[in-house]
Structure 1
Amino acid sequence: MAPTRRPSDGLLARVNFPLYAVDMLTSRHILVAGGGGSSKTGVANGFEIYELYHNGSHFCAEEVLRHETGANVVMNFAVRNSGRRAYLCAGQEAHCQMYFVQPQLDITSDASMDKKLTQSDHPHENGVRHRGVQPHSGVETLSNGNNCHPPTAADVLKQFQRLQFDIQAADVIQTDFLSNGEPLQRVVRISSNGRLMATGGTDGQLRVWTFPQMQLSTSWPAHNKEIDDLDFSPDCKYIVSISKDAQGIVWDLSTGKQQHKLKWQTQEGNKYLFKRCRYGTVEGHKDNYRLFTVTNPLGKVGKQRGFVQQWDCKNGELRVAASVDESLSSLAVRDDGRFVAVGTMFSGSVSIYIAFSLQRVLHIPHAHSMFVTGLQFLPITNEEGPPISSDTEAAVLSISVDNKVCIHSLPQRKTIPAWLAVVFMVIMIFIVLVLCSYIGI
């Protein structure tokens, strides 16, 4: 039985619009996006940026920036951080809008510091201290239901000499051209080397663009129904696409030709659809990697289960599969390829698995009140800065259309020290030799 939620985990922030996409902007800044759409419902559309840190007992988040996108809801996005600035490519209906995200160091004056310290350390009537709340933004930032400790010198430095961000709209391109319906970009990905961008949507065309120029490089009819997800292989030689036509296909980027299809023997002949796909490295090496997918039963669910799957990248054969009691909605792989996380469709639950065996090591039932729309592991290797130090082995962010940003962490699992293992082996060898001598072997 996998352990359930740690006492310090849970809600990081609550936004006033549904959330559809999440990623790490830097090693310690969370970027989430979503909205209520173009209808005049009064629900905003846009991005939120939070700074995340661990105060020694639990994770805390503070709002850094809110950027609204007018009538355009952001359903998907991809981030590429170049050091001096980040490129943010957001799916807005049939188009992909690029934004420049420019970091800036903000240093608050001493007088403002004293005032903010007094305000930020005052708990609200429910016992939860709200950090970085902007009254008119509709955003509520929390500290997991625990009061943060009184500010230390490090807290002051973090809060008052912190990174701010400026978001500016840049180029926009149309990426989906469905002729007999409503065109919609469903997914955008940027290759790990930062040279290519791929998009997929309702017209089933897989389009590869040069990046950051966003000029069309190649396009081919990958599927006869809309594309649900894409991912570049870590070595940037292949791209996998999955679609509502029940196909999962790995493509050779140099030729645009099919490398292989993902095929598996379904239980009792039931039909399944691929929902999400992600590559993950093995021990952090980009030339050695695995492919992960989640699949759901087609049609009436009944007693059918969803599956988390691991594939052989050389021939497209299924290696390992783990069943889940319901349909799955989201998937994430940690940057070192060691852990996989999935979110569910009906119960809003989140689980973490060991990547190579798909053994479940953490389960958080009902993490959200609705289906999980996005997951993202906290990075452990990041060129943009050191990762967040904590007492956890892994931590994953989750978002949902319930407007919540949550965090779930895997406690450090107990292991036997190396010296103790060596001593144990020496003792066992000694016992075996004595036993053999006693019986005359």
Structure 2
Amino acid sequence: MPAEATPTTLTADRGASSKTHFPLDVKFPVYSVAWTDDHTVVLAGGGGSSRTGVKNRLSMYSVDLKQRQLSLKQEHELSREEDAPMTIAIDLETKALAAGINSSATELEKGVNENLRVFSFAGENIEYQKRSSTLSSTDPDHYQKVTAFSRSSPKMLAVGSTNSQLSLLSYPDLRDVCPTLDYNGEEIFDADFNDDGEMLAGTSSNKLCVWPTKVADSSTVPEPLQVIERPVLKRELACTFRAAKFGRKSTASNLYTVVNAAPSGSVRKPPAGSKKAFVSLWDARAWRLLKTRTVSQKPVTAFDVSDDGTLLAYGSSDLSIGILDAVTLRPIVTVLHAHDFPVTSLKFNPSGSILVSGSADNSIRVVRVPSADQRGGNSATYMVLFTLLVLVLAILIQQSFGEDLLRAARQAM
């Protein structure tokens, strides 16, 4: 079946009621999203090695919020014999793009899976650079699920897979910093470096460990700096981790965790509202839980932190996406039906002014993020407003009832 041509311009319906967000049909399943600059987004996905006619690709688009439009700048077509790119990460400093792409079935049968691919980008060009293997498994059901660059120098790359392996690599040589970190048979859901690159948080459903990235002996598995236990809400609820990310810049000392709760297998008739997902804020210096907020009545499937550390974003299997204040966990934006399938990936642009989410339903959702002035106040702002309101009321009371109050006070003396 011939591949369908990629549209060069995607324009949202101008009759849509919302002016702050809009969906676009990109004609292929989107598994990962990243930004090369404030107005250029890369969408990764495709049909895999199946003969569906949906090609595997890295598509670079310019985003025009005013026109509600995406324009194709370049499309890097990938092999139809290999898997679709399931995860990508971009480092703006080195102009590098790392992707997780399983090798062809023929190569897997030979025991070879060069799952980690590195590309460079400059202007409107995405160019292949090299490949490497971090997966010990050649099972086609196992793949690279998580990719993350460190934000400091020297550069490092974290790669997590569905077969329980978390690899910490130096970049650009892709050498192991330490032996593979094993997660007891559980797929890796998330990996993230803190701002100075000295800690790496790796997350599976039942295991959240914070690892040191500076190790004295590269042949020895390091001891985790911190292990965060799964919360226990009620006996009938089973809690699992979905994500863990450090804050950035102003919130660099924070760690944000996402936990999904669902009725355990022993519960025959789960009570109403027993499914939920919540985001927790931790002090990453004292490792103390500071606050928690329930964000969805169904599991969260994707999570991101803005580059300035002020915003959090999540996608839920109830098909919604939301944006939270990173300090108060207060909701700022909620889009109830963002996609027809659950969100596979979402990402803020570098300035935090745009959020793009992707899904396997062939769609993306572009969200205009409210500016700091439009988000409403934080708790300090509310306190100032409350104080001003009290002063205004006091003045009004004094003007309206001041004489009566004074007279009553004199009579009481």
The TM-score with structure 2 as length reference comes to 0.76
- Whether the 8 Å CA contact 2:183–2:204 is kept in 1: the answer is yes
Matched, 1:209 2:174: no
- Whether the 8 Å CA contact 2:282–2:288 is kept in 1: the answer is yes
- Whether the 8 Å CA contact 1:310–1:320 is kept in 2: the answer is yes
Secondary structure at 2:234 match in 1: helix
- Whether the 8 Å CA contact 1:35–1:45 is kept in 2: the answer is yes
Counterpart of 2:308 (choices 313, 327, 336) is: 336
Please name the residue that 2:109 is paired with: none
Distance (whole Å) between structure 2 residues aligned to residue 417 and residue 311 of structure 1: 23
Matched, 1:88 2:47: no
Counterpart of 2:178 (choices 211, 218, 225) is: 218
Matched, 1:258 2:218: no
Name the aligned partner's letter for residue 41 of structure 2. I
Counterpart of 2:188 (choices 220, 227, 243) is: 227
Q: What displacement does 1:34 show?
A: 0.7
Matched, 1:174 2:139: no
| Unpaired stretches in structure 1, ≥5 consecutive residues | 104-164, 382-393
Q: For residues 288 and 41 of structure 1, do their structure 2 counterparts lie closer, same or farther at Cα, with a shift above 3 Å needed?
A: same
Distance (whole Å) between structure 2 residues aligned to residue 404 and residue 179 of structure 1: 30
- Whether the 8 Å CA contact 1:235–1:286 is kept in 2: the answer is no
Q: What displacement does 1:405 show?
A: 1.5
Q: What displacement does 1:185 show?
A: 1.5
Please name the residue that 2:331 is paired with: 360
Distance (whole Å) between structure 1 residues aligned to residue 157 and residue 336 of structure 2: 35
Q: What displacement does 1:201 show?
A: 1.2
Please name the residue that 2:13 is paired with: none
Distance (whole Å) between structure 1 residues aligned to residue 255 and residue 175 of structure 2: 30
Q: What displacement does 1:312 show?
A: 2.4
- Whether the 8 Å CA contact 1:263–1:318 is kept in 2: the answer is no
Counterpart of 2:245 (choices 278, 285, 294) is: 278
Name the aligned partner's letter for residue 397 of structure 1. V
Please name the residue that 2:5 is paired with: none
Distance (whole Å) between structure 1 residues aligned to residue 328 and residue 210 of structure 2: 22
- Whether the 8 Å CA contact 1:6–1:409 is kept in 2: the answer is no
Q: For residues 402 and 428 of structure 1, do their structure 2 counterparts lie closer, same or farther at Cα, with a shift above 3 Å needed?
A: same
Which is bigger in relative contact order (C-alpha 8 A, separation at least 6)?
A: 1
Q: What displacement does 1:179 show?
A: 7.0
**Aligned pairs for 1:279-298 within 5 A:** 279-281=246-248, 284-285=249-250, 287-297=252-262
Task: Give the aligned CA root-mean-square deviation in angstroms.
Answer: 3.2
Counterpart of 1:267 (choices 229, 233, 238) is: 233
- Whether the 8 Å CA contact 2:189–2:242 is kept in 1: the answer is yes
Please name the residue that 2:219 is paired with: none
Q: For residues 285 and 69 of structure 1, do their structure 2 counterparts lie closer, same or farther at Cα, with a shift above 3 Å needed?
A: same
Q: What displacement does 1:286 show?
A: 6.9
Q: What displacement does 1:177 show?
A: 0.6
Please name the residue that 2:151 is paired with: 192
Please name the residue that 2:105 is paired with: none
Q: For residues 48 and 272 of structure 1, do their structure 2 counterparts lie closer, same or farther at Cα, with a shift above 3 Å needed?
A: same
Distance (whole Å) between structure 2 residues aligned to residue 218 and residue 48 of structure 1: 33
Q: Sequence identity, in percent?
A: 22
Please name the residue that 1:409 is paired with: 368
CA deviations 1:124-175 (Å, max 9, x no partner) are: xxxxxxxxxxxxxxxxxxxxxxxxxxxxxxxxxxxxxxxxx12221110001
Q: What displacement does 1:285 show?
A: 3.5
CA deviations 1:106-128 (Å, max 9, x no partner) are: xxxxxxxxxxxxxxxxxxxxxxx
Distance (whole Å) between structure 2 residues aligned to residue 342 and residue 228 of structure 1: 14
Distance (whole Å) between structure 1 residues aligned to residue 361 and residue 264 of structure 2: 25
Q: For residues 318 and 298 of structure 1, do their structure 2 counterparts lie closer, same or farther at Cα, with a shift above 3 Å needed?
A: farther
CA deviations 1:213-247 (Å, max 9, x no partner) are: 22222124331122221111122111111114x11
Matched, 1:348 2:319: yes
The TM-score with structure 1 as length reference comes to 0.72
Higher share of residues assigned strand: 1
Please name the residue that 2:199 is paired with: 238
Distance (whole Å) between structure 2 residues aligned to residue 419 and residue 351 of structure 1: 27
Paired residue total? 356
Distance (whole Å) between structure 2 residues aligned to residue 86 and residue 339 of structure 1: 24
| Unpaired stretches in structure 2, ≥5 consecutive residues | 1-15, 103-112, 216-221
Q: For residues 181 and 318 of structure 1, do their structure 2 counterparts lie closer, same or farther at Cα, with a shift above 3 Å needed?
A: farther
Secondary structure at 2:257 match in 1: strand
Matched, 1:45 2:17: no
Matched, 1:28 2:31: no
Q: What displacement does 1:210 show?
A: 1.1
Please name the residue that 2:77 is paired with: 68
Distance (whole Å) between structure 2 residues aligned to residue 414 and residue 61 of structure 1: 29
- Whether the 8 Å CA contact 2:258–2:277 is kept in 1: the answer is no
Q: What displacement does 1:190 show?
A: 0.5
Q: For residues 59 and 102 of structure 1, do their structure 2 counterparts lie closer, same or farther at Cα, with a shift above 3 Å needed?
A: same
Q: For residues 264 and 70 of structure 1, do their structure 2 counterparts lie closer, same or farther at Cα, with a shift above 3 Å needed?
A: closer
Please name the residue that 1:325 is paired with: 297
Distance (whole Å) between structure 2 residues aligned to residue 413 and residue 102 of structure 1: 34
Distance (whole Å) between structure 2 residues aligned to residue 63 and residue 37 of structure 1: 21
Distance (whole Å) between structure 2 residues aligned to residue 247 and residue 419 of structure 1: 42
Distance (whole Å) between structure 2 residues aligned to residue 299 and residue 66 of structure 1: 45
Q: What displacement does 1:80 show?
A: 1.0
Name the aligned partner's letter for residue 46 of structure 1. R
